[in-house]
Amino acid sequence: MSATRMFLDSSGSAPLTPRVTDALRAGFADGWADPNRLHAESRRARALVEGARAAVADVLGAQTEYVHFTPSVNIAFERVTAGICAARRGRDRAVVSAIERDALLDSAHHVTRGHVDLVSVDSLGHLDLAQFSSLTSDPATAVAAVQHANHEIGTVQRLADIHAITQERSVPLIVDATASIGHIEAPQDWDALVANPADWGGPAGLGVVAMRPQTRWLQAWPDGDPWAPGGISVPLALAAAVALQERVEQQQETATRLGGYVDEIRAAFDNLEEVAVVGDTNERLPHVLTAAFLYLDGEPLVTRLDREGIAVGSGSACGKETFEPSRVLEVMGALTHGNLRVGLHPGIAHEDVRRFIEVLPRVISDVKSDMGVFGS
């Protein structure tokens, strides 16, 4: 990457830090062997994975033997949803917040053969608790799934209230923490949790599932390993754990600093016309921000900023098609044509943010004139 480039799309990926790169090097040197065999090379690989599981479990507040690496976040969702539903015979419905990631919605649809009830959110992105309570009271409810924090707008759900409802109904709650772990305190109100190492500065190509000991599930696919069919990469697991440790050590300081930058960016957007920053300004992830545009597409904004050396996101952060309009914003009732998503990683400096804020009005006005939009 050229020295002048600036990566402001850290929602699901970030440049690897030297410490993570070192962990990868060590992992590939010592952890290349199949961890399921008997000899020393295999035992060494197994020890690395076990150490990584323990380190991740510690941050999640989970027990090591109930924390599993999967080959991707999507596979984590597939397996955990299918596994829990398989143990809930006679019940065939999933209750899911309407702003969940596609990967979770797809899994829920597949496992329940389409019997998915979506729960609305308010204009800040918070779950409609009354509707959630009413839908989960259906005795056919096999599972409920709610995210900890939204990957686009940053809103953090009130999981204590949500979990209290599912516990009263004895419905297992899957919490999607793929946008929050490493950024804010790990949630404790869940029966199963999914996390994404690439989102906390680890390498892509892994997912994490944590279960509570009392959460019942059955193996839904016949393969030997229910969580990692065919195994996972040991060096990636090691690096994921090291990245998490690094983030957690600096979590409070990073959140304060990046939260300040996000406030500055929000203020800059507030000064512009026909654009609104979406989501809760208090109960939120510190490092992400989405701005919704009334008349502009996201794609030319991303492309023009990219030419200025600035990488940002647009569209559904985790949608199937990168540039389909954001389903999250649609569900929230945000009046939006295109959107622009910023995700800050700890390597971002104040001067980067200042340059972004400086460049932004000109880029927006360039896109407007390209599109023939000259104000309303």
Q: Which residues bind a second copy (CB under 8 A)?
A: 1, 5, 7, 9, 12-16, 21, 24-25, 28, 30, 32-34, 36-42, 71-76, 78, 102-103, 106-107, 109-110, 198, 203-207, 221-224, 228-236, 299, 302-303, 305-306, 311-314, 320-323
Which of 353, 9, 293 has the alpha carbon at shortest distance from 152?
9
Distance separating alpha carbons of residues 68 and 78, to the nearest angstrom:
14
Residue closer to a second copy by CB (options 159, 232) is 232
Least separation in angstroms between CB 161 and a second copy: 30
Least separation in angstroms between CB 152 and a second copy: 14
Sheet containing strand 141-147, strands side by side: 67-70, 207-211, 192-195, 173-176, 141-147, 93-97, 116-119
| CA distance to 100, 167, 229, 316, per residue, from 327 (Å) | 9, 29, 31, 6
Residue closer to a second copy by CB (options 108, 258) is 108
**∠83-73-259 over CA atoms, to 5°?**
125
**Which amino acid, 142?**
A
The CB density around residue 111, as the number of other CB atoms within 10 Å, is 24
| Cβ 314 vs Cβ 341: under 8 Å | yes
Burial-class residue 331 by CB neighbours within 10 Å (0-12, 13-18, 19+): middle
| Cβ 275 vs Cβ 291: under 8 Å | yes
Least separation in angstroms between CB 83 and a second copy: 15
Residue closer to a second copy by CB (options 170, 303) is 303
Least separation in angstroms between CB 86 and a second copy: 13
Residue closer to a second copy by CB (options 69, 132) is 69
Least separation in angstroms between CB 345 and a second copy: 11
Least separation in angstroms between CB 191 and a second copy: 22
Least separation in angstroms between CB 159 and a second copy: 23
Residue closer to a second copy by CB (options 321, 351) is 321
Residue closer to a second copy by CB (options 34, 65) is 34
Which of 274, 322, 273 has the alpha carbon at shortest distance from 294?
274
Distance separating alpha carbons of residues 316 and 319, to the nearest angstrom:
5
Residue closer to a second copy by CB (options 34, 253) is 34
Distance separating alpha carbons of residues 44 and 60, to the nearest angstrom:
24
Residue closer to a second copy by CB (options 3, 40) is 40
Residue closer to a second copy by CB (options 64, 322) is 322
Residue bearing tokens 């559904």 = 316
Residue closer to a second copy by CB (options 197, 279) is 197
Q: What is the dihedral of CA 79, 83, 89, 91, to 10 degrees?
A: -50
Least separation in angstroms between CB 227 and a second copy: 11
Element (H, E) at 194: strand 192-195
Give the helix ranges, DSSP H, for the chain.
18-30, 40-60, 73-86, 102-111, 129-136, 159-168, 234-249, 251-270, 298-307, 327-331, 350-371
Least separation in angstroms between CB 306 and a second copy: 4
